Structure 1
């Protein structure tokens, strides 16, 4: 039987981590997934959605009632997702190898499924820019076997980062990553952070006025497995999912501290009315932890 809560540990590595504090116990909202991913918080619905990828379903946690249900099944072997500025749910789907948007009436719009006429590998995670463009990563995890999608040969011949503009144009913006995974903008959107899971790297790119990326230096290397999902808080700190929990980094790449968890962590989002509740997917668990940090939207 899954416990209602589990003990967690906040571990400091730098004095700059002192303002970050949080619950000593994480609430276990759901504990029966196979590999949970892609948490996203909708303030309008007061709901967290997350993916149970191998079981091909999207789960929903109702913040008001505490109930967990199935939002969509089959779920397209969905992985990462985010809520756009209009309140619509954007998600990456391994099954259709596409990025989709769920409209308020429940209909699904395909935003992107090809680049230069070739199908994507398996879009993994995404983030929306304030100009309405959608940026996403495209590793091969969803086509390597039938576990998280459908086994298939890649058509593009590389694992890249893309930008989908509001007019539907899809542009490759980064092509030198092994397996790009999580991504997040800084508050001013002049920096894009991208995790390269295969190399255990967190990369930092400069975002130009035209949406082009330059730079791309390795900001940090994960010392506990590899990076997965990543988010940024209002103080500029970078929160990265790793095998031992969440690592919190300064924008200069210094490891400030960790939130140690008992399961391999895949992703996170900030939610709640004040965006100070961490919703974390960690293997078969969906957890919530209240913290003094506040996440960007």
Structure 2
């Protein structure tokens, strides 16, 4: 596998609306840069408190770490449960949507793995895909069904493809939303009051209010665009993926498109020491882009 530790410029194609120019989301003179390539399919970027960025090579069953200090990439975990989405909590635990056995993992800083959930009411989960940890420690998890070649079954275990919620004490596990075709990416607001959920097969992204005990309420259409992974910045702008990265303000207005010269852009997050570097996973590669805004 070829990994390019020295970041270098690649073609940067970016269309920006007037609103984006006013917001100046991208740092002056910044270009999309290739951090590393040679993977099979990159996914799930997540930054820890120091700004180190972890991401998965899902088909190869690895989690990698980009180091914020030396800018190098190393293998963090070789057997990752075929992890897809990742997210850190405030205590430094890494959570993984590990779909090899349809599990939700908690990974300690010392790499100890705890399986938090693998079923709903006795039925195997369809295939945990992405997750977001709320400020209080509660976890929202999407559970679509994508047939995997490493499964021994081909039938969808649970008829509905849902969003689930795990309580902060990690004891309760409830259905949070089920009126979706195929939920995929999701991200919440830093205040823990709202959750965005992308219904990738219905080509829509929805916004919910987070009620008591993680109940999702007041479902409203955010934009008629689905997404794979997603993130949010300090201004409340939401970053959706698929054909590059498309940014919407909190009112659901498109304000920026970042073109990525890959067939598919899977996921995105903010990392680096000041959380002002946008990291993008796309096919066999990891890209970065310096921003004027930080992630949350």
TM-score under structure 1 length normalisation: 0.91
Taking a change above 3 Å as real, the CA distance of residues 31 and 101 of structure 1, as seen in their structure-2 partners, is same
Distance in 1 between the 2:153 and 2:292 partners?
42
Residue 160 (structure 1) aligned with residue 166 (structure 2): no
**Residues paired across the two proteins, number:** 288
Taking a change above 3 Å as real, the CA distance of residues 227 and 119 of structure 1, as seen in their structure-2 partners, is same
Counterpart of 1:289 in structure 2 is 289
For residue 102 of structure 1, the aligned residue among 98, 107, 116 is 107
Residue 186 (structure 1) aligned with residue 189 (structure 2): yes
Please list the CA deviations of residues 171-204 of structure 1 after superposition, one character each: whole Å capped at 9, or x if unmatched.
1010011111111112322211000111111111
Distance in 2 between the 1:47 and 1:16 partners?
27
Please list the CA deviations of residues 101-139 of structure 1 after superposition, one character each: whole Å capped at 9, or x if unmatched.
111222101111111111101101111111211111000
Distance in 1 between the 2:251 and 2:221 partners?
11
Please list the CA deviations of residues 84-105 of structure 1 after superposition, one character each: whole Å capped at 9, or x if unmatched.
1001111100102111111122
Counterpart of 1:90 in structure 2 is 95
| Runs of at least 5 residues in structure 2 that lack an aligned partner in the other structure | none
Alpha-carbon distance, 1:151 to partner:
4.8
| Runs of at least 5 residues in structure 1 that lack an aligned partner in the other structure | none
Taking a change above 3 Å as real, the CA distance of residues 284 and 66 of structure 1, as seen in their structure-2 partners, is same
Distance in 1 between the 2:110 and 2:191 partners?
32
Residue 18 (structure 1) aligned with residue 18 (structure 2): no
Are 2:68 and 2:273, in contact at CA under 8 Å, matched by a contact in 1? no
Are 1:191 and 1:204, in contact at CA under 8 Å, matched by a contact in 2? yes
Match of 1:292, SS state, is coil
Alpha-carbon distance, 1:27 to partner:
2.5
Distance in 1 between the 2:270 and 2:52 partners?
12
Counterpart of 1:258 in structure 2 is 257
For residue 218 of structure 1, the aligned residue among 214, 217, 221 is 221
Taking a change above 3 Å as real, the CA distance of residues 210 and 4 of structure 1, as seen in their structure-2 partners, is same
Q: Aligned-pair RMSD on alpha carbons?
A: 1.8
Please list the CA deviations of residues 19-58 of structure 1 after superposition, one character each: whole Å capped at 9, or x if unmatched.
21235422222111121100111234x5321111112211
TM-score under structure 2 length normalisation: 0.91
Counterpart of 1:195 in structure 2 is 198
Match of 1:100, SS state, is strand
Alpha-carbon distance, 1:79 to partner:
0.2
Distance in 2 between the 1:151 and 1:4 partners?
43
Residue 272 (structure 1) aligned with residue 272 (structure 2): yes
For residue 7 of structure 1, the aligned residue among 1, 8, 11 is 11
Match of 2:15, SS state, is strand
Counterpart of 2:36 in structure 1 is 30
